[in-house]
Chain A
């Protein structure tokens, strides 16, 4: 049975990704900070499927422990999907050093350290695939969420470099940019239906993207073009826009 390690397994998106892989017959290793939130998620999937499921504690900000965590896994994964992230309060993040540090630590540094550990093993084995949830917010810094956006921009650049390094070694790296997602963070917001993906749609896009070895996945296709346009607005105009 092939195994997927899902990092940050308690989010709506991660749960949908886990269910999708279980339904397709993959064994799961679910990693998250809060075991109390993770256990019911694992037992739910155990009833839904017959695949092997392990849970492990994982803290994205505990960088020094990432190597130990990976070494301690009973089953080494064939695929790693990093879903963790932290979207703080941007107004707070403008001036609150703790909030800036946390946003960057979870969204960038934690990703970079953990995926470096994974990459080393996959490179040695000469196989494997890594997917990480980045964001369209990283495509261009905008006043509404540039701290989060810049951490995600860093992640996107990191993944692009990692992909470049590992492509020759038989290891695939995929960047996922979901756009608007219908999750607990957005349930009370009015979002345009055509641009808003459900966790299940994102899970399908991630699973299918990995099967087809896609490099960069926008879970809903209009986003690719929206961001293309946003990236190409000249800076002297862009800086005056409200975005």
Chain B
């Protein structure tokens, strides 16, 4: 038994954990009766990979094949995105889709069907999976793809690990000329401006905005829009970069060595951060070339940054609302958040593109993600926000969630019922794969 938590350090549980190196070992782990859930690198925020028995996938992390012509990589599910980047960026390949951290496993990327700054162009990670092998409850291995065992594929992408344990997956990497991103940043002084900016940015591959969730009144929604394209060799002006366009120097690595006291983040320190951060970008448009780590993974440069929220832990409230509900909906919700004064400094806004998939989070519309230290007040606020999100036809991201109730899930995930039935059918009466989250939101009993 050991204490374990996901990234938000809330909840923290006692669990029996074990890993595996081979499919045979995993099969033996599945033999004893009782529920289990796969746990990758612990970067989902809440309780989606927590359970009293957890199977650690990190050791199951071998590369199985790579096609130099097509860029198709097949690897075991415990491989981290960071490992793929370390190996393949120097050879001119990049991930098809990446979230804001590279410290997640391939299994987690598929189970949560993660998205990135290019969602409006390239969709979610699951859409790039060519095929995968999954171990089912009784130990058999099923190979599935959009065409082979398509129903099983459908409920596994975004299925939060409830259909089985993903063993390996094949997906295509994208060609890059350099390890750099041509980045453009500009300030938007309120919500309308940033939304205009998103709607005018659809021809950029990557777009995202940091939003000041403490600014009120006319300044509400003031933000910094960041857009980017993979830099070509011609975009590099620096000579050192030109001579080795795919090689990066080791960046500075920082660490938060201890869990900070709960009071370290308070309304004052957060307000100060937001004011400074917003004013760091001067009015107008700014262009520069940055390495991919700086563009995609700024927080990965600080090990254990989750410790700044103290022992109480934190949650990231991430919702999406349909584009039709967009401006008014986002304004109403944002007002509720700014009025509460509870939001912190890590708030991210993005416009998703169309998404057709069964259980995945994204939909054509606006998504906002922001961190809250765990508190009674925050929990009360979430209930109010849940009702608003549901009313606008939106939903919450399961990979971030640690507290929504079954009713909210039911209302906001249109395929909830069908998914529950499909999972029940796979289980044949005896639930094998379940997490604290799947029980809380009523997918498994």
Measuring CB to CB, which residues of chain A are less than 8 angstroms from any residue of chain B? 12, 23, 37, 40-41, 43-44, 47-49, 184, 187-190
Contact = CB atoms under 8 A, between A and B. Distances in A.
A41 B64 CA distance: 10
B1 interface: yes
Majority secondary structure, A binding face:
helix
Contacts of B19: 184, 187
Contacts of B87: 47-49
Given A44-B64, A190-B3, 7 more contacts: A43-B62, A44-B62, A47-B66, A49-B87, A187-B56, A188-B2, A189-B2
Nearest to B61: A44
Please classify how large the interface on chain B is, using the bins under 10, 10 to 19, 20 to 34, 35 or more: 10 to 19
5 contacts: A41-B62, A47-B64, A47-B87, A48-B63, A188-B2
Contacts of B3: 190
A40 B56 contact: no
A115 to B, nearest CB: 27
B339 interface: no
A196 to B, nearest CB: 11
B62 A40 contact: yes
A1 to B, nearest CB: 17
A49 B63 CA distance: 11
Given A188-B2, A190-B2, A47 B63 contact: yes
Nearest to B63: A47
Interface of B: 1-3, 16-19, 21-22, 56, 59, 62-66, 86-87
3 closest A-B pairs (Cβ-Cβ)? Answer: A44-B62, A47-B63, A190-B2
Contacts of B1: 188, 190
A57 B173 CA distance: 35
A189 B65 CA distance: 34
Contacts of A40: 62
A37 B22 CA distance: 9
A26 B87 CA distance: 15
Contact of B16 (A12, A43, A44, A188): A188
Nearest to A10: B21
A8 B21 CA distance: 16
Contacts of B18: 187-188
A44 B17 contact: no
Contacts of B21: 37, 184
A188 B17 contact: yes
Contacts of B56: 187
A47 B56 CA distance: 23
Given A12-B59, A48-B87, A187 B65 contact: no
